[in-house]
């Protein structure tokens, strides 16, 4: 396997973990702030949405990075990938 193929596989294997942690961190921050300010469930919901937004941004960043790496490689026959 080529070096670029390993890098691509690692990039896309990390995405689910990154998505989960972004949403989880948002949920934990929202939960803590709700308990502190007694605003259940509003801050929890808001920070989950922030976590989802961060996850979407991370996925878009990684896909863009992948597309740029494909452009740098130039045209290739699909059988070689």
For residue 68, give the DSSP letter: H
- Residue 23 CB coordination number (10 Å): 19
Dump strand ranges (E) for the chain: none
- SS3 percent helix, strand, coil of the chain, rounded to 5, is 85, 0, 15
Cα–Cα distance list, 16 to 25, 49, 56, 80 (Å): 14, 17, 11, 27
The confidence band for 69, taking pLDDT boundaries of 50, 70 and 90, is: confident
Distance (Å, rounded) from C-alpha 5 to C-alpha 21? Answer: 25
Question: What confidence tens digit (pLDDT) does each residue in 7-66 have?
Answer: 778 878 889 999 999 999 999 999 999 999 999 999 999 999 999 999 999 999 988 988
- pLDDT score, position 34: 97
């Amino acid at each position: 396997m080529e070096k670029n193929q390993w890098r691509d596989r690692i990039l896309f294997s990390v995405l689910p973990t990154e998505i989960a942690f972004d949403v989880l961190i948002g949920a934990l921050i929202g939960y803590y702030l709700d308990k502190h300010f007694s605003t259940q469930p509003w801050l929890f919901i808001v920070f989950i949405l922030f976590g989802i937004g961060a996850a979407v941004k991370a996925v878009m960043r990684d896909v863009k990075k992948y597309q740029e790496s494909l452009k740098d490689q130039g045209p290739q026959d699909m059988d070689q990938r």
